[in-house]
Copies of this chain bind each other. A is one copy, B any other.
Amino acid sequence: MPEITKVALDAMGGDNAPGEIIKGAVDAVNSNKNIIVYVVGSKEAVDSELGKNTYPSDRIKTVYSTEVIETAEPPVMAIRQKKDSSIVRGLHLVKEGECDAFVSAGSSGAVLVGGQLLVGRIKGVERPPLAPLIPTSKGVSLLVDCGANVDARPNHLIQFAKMGAIYMEHVIGVKNPTVGLLNIGAEEDKGNALVKETFPMLKNISGINFAGSVEARDVITGDVDVIVCEAFAGNICLKTLEGVAKTLLSEVKKGMTSSLKAKIGAALVAPELKRSLKKFDASEYGGAPLLGLKGLVVKTHGSSKAKEVKNSILQCVSFKEGRISERIEEELKHADMEEA
């Protein structure tokens, strides 16, 4: 009998909550029968949105909460004070083992802080990084860390490399994934102090398929499977990528609809163009997991629609089946023993 993956879902977070979020839950349970989603949110919102959809009733459960953490709220305070918020309630379901994972499109800060405070870090993990999958020309790469730990130290980056490689191998199925260090040049002597200190350490660790430095312009080409970086640089890389992709594609669209002749041309070219660009659609890959916690916490874009929510939920199944948390714990235990 296949395992069931139980996912707590924040119905109140994100620009398109609750409608698109709950539609994502419905689409997920309708597409994979080994998922149960616990929808967490206000009774009114949850009941009303669920009422608009058709789904097997034994695979969507409701958990009613009365509070919502807003994006602008200071995260630590919000997590401590809003005990009946959808984020705190959802994280508690993971903490208590009721659910395997928590997915939210709400406040990044609250999800990151709450994940660490409530779900807790795996023994040995110093700083859990946020690790989104980035669509590339060749498929998909993992960017660790893209926003959780600014001003990280070299030993944190080493852990990011290990956790990222485990994720790519056992969730995405990349055998012996290559790991690159995000840098401003290809040579070993390039970089800031952090990168210069980390480079030789990564080079000398057994079990990491280290490919050296990777320049930011080669992130999208998919040169390496795992890109390791400090969170400030990683966030700049991720957000630039998203911003440029959005702006350029909207300019392409604008150009294609600016005259009747262009519109006719656009209609002819549209199917091939869509196929060619589909692989760069980030919503295909779900959200960003916070790696190194005792349970899975996934942050999806604030702008997520049903498709991304659905894919974020499906991602939890691969994470559970790949035994990622257990493998990270074993790997870091092993590293501790090597050093001792």
**Measured between C-beta atoms, what is the minimum distance from A63 to chain B in Å?**
29
- Asked if A248 and B245 make an inter-chain contact with CB atoms under 8 angstroms apart, the answer reads yes
**Chain B residue nearest to A271 in the complex (CB):** B262
A192 within 8 A of B: yes
The interface residues of chain B lying within 8 Å CB-to-CB of A147 are 184
**Chain B residue nearest to A196 in the complex (CB):** B150
- Asked if A218 and B236 make an inter-chain contact with CB atoms under 8 angstroms apart, the answer reads no
- Asked if A217 and B233 make an inter-chain contact with CB atoms under 8 angstroms apart, the answer reads no
**Chain B residue nearest to A186 in the complex (CB):** B72
Q: A223-250 toward B: CB 8 Å interface, digit per residue (1/0)?
A: 0000000011101111111111111110
Looking at A113-121, A251-259, A306-314, the stretch in contact with chain B turns out to be A251-259
**Chain B residue nearest to A256 in the complex (CB):** B269
**Measured between C-beta atoms, what is the minimum distance from A127 to chain B in Å?**
14
Q: In the docked arrangement, what's the CA distance between A272 and B253, Å? A: 10
**Measured between C-beta atoms, what is the minimum distance from A139 to chain B in Å?**
13
**Chain B residue nearest to A230 in the complex (CB):** B192
The interface residues of chain B lying within 8 Å CB-to-CB of A242 are 217
Q: In the docked arrangement, what's the CA distance between A93 and B111, Å? A: 57
Q: In the docked arrangement, what's the CA distance between A274 and B272, Å? A: 19
**Chain B residue nearest to A216 in the complex (CB):** B239
Contact of A240 among B231, B237, B272 (CB under 8 A): B237
The interface residues of chain B lying within 8 Å CB-to-CB of A150 are 184, 191-193
Looking at A5-13, A84-92, A275-283, A290-298, the stretch in contact with chain B turns out to be A275-283
The interface residues of chain B lying within 8 Å CB-to-CB of A337 are none
Q: In the docked arrangement, what's the CA distance between A251 and B265, Å? A: 17
The interface residues of chain B lying within 8 Å CB-to-CB of A219 are 240, 243
**Chain B residue nearest to A248 in the complex (CB):** B248
- Asked if B276 and A269 make an inter-chain contact with CB atoms under 8 angstroms apart, the answer reads no
Q: In the docked arrangement, what's the CA distance between A221 and B270, Å? A: 25
**Chain B residue nearest to A252 in the complex (CB):** B252
Which residue among A147, A191, A247, A267 has the maximum number of chain B CB atoms within 10 Å of its CB? A247
The interface residues of chain B lying within 8 Å CB-to-CB of A236 are 182, 184, 216, 233, 236-237, 240
* A262 and B272 contact, Cβ closer than 8 Å, known pairs A72-B187, A235-B184: yes
- Asked if B241 and A255 make an inter-chain contact with CB atoms under 8 angstroms apart, the answer reads no
Q: In the docked arrangement, what's the CA distance between A237 and B219, Å? A: 12
- Asked if A256 and B240 make an inter-chain contact with CB atoms under 8 angstroms apart, the answer reads no
The interface residues of chain B lying within 8 Å CB-to-CB of A241 are 240, 244
- Asked if B244 and A273 make an inter-chain contact with CB atoms under 8 angstroms apart, the answer reads no
A31 within 8 A of B: no
**Measured between C-beta atoms, what is the minimum distance from A259 to chain B in Å?**
6
- Asked if A256 and B232 make an inter-chain contact with CB atoms under 8 angstroms apart, the answer reads no
**Measured between C-beta atoms, what is the minimum distance from A133 to chain B in Å?**
16
The interface residues of chain B lying within 8 Å CB-to-CB of A275 are 255, 258
What are 17 contact pairs spanning A and B, CB under 8 A?
A: A72-B187, A137-B247, A150-B191, A192-B232, A216-B237, A216-B243, A217-B240, A220-B243, A233-B233, A244-B244, A244-B245, A245-B248, A248-B249, A251-B276, A255-B272, A261-B272, A265-B265
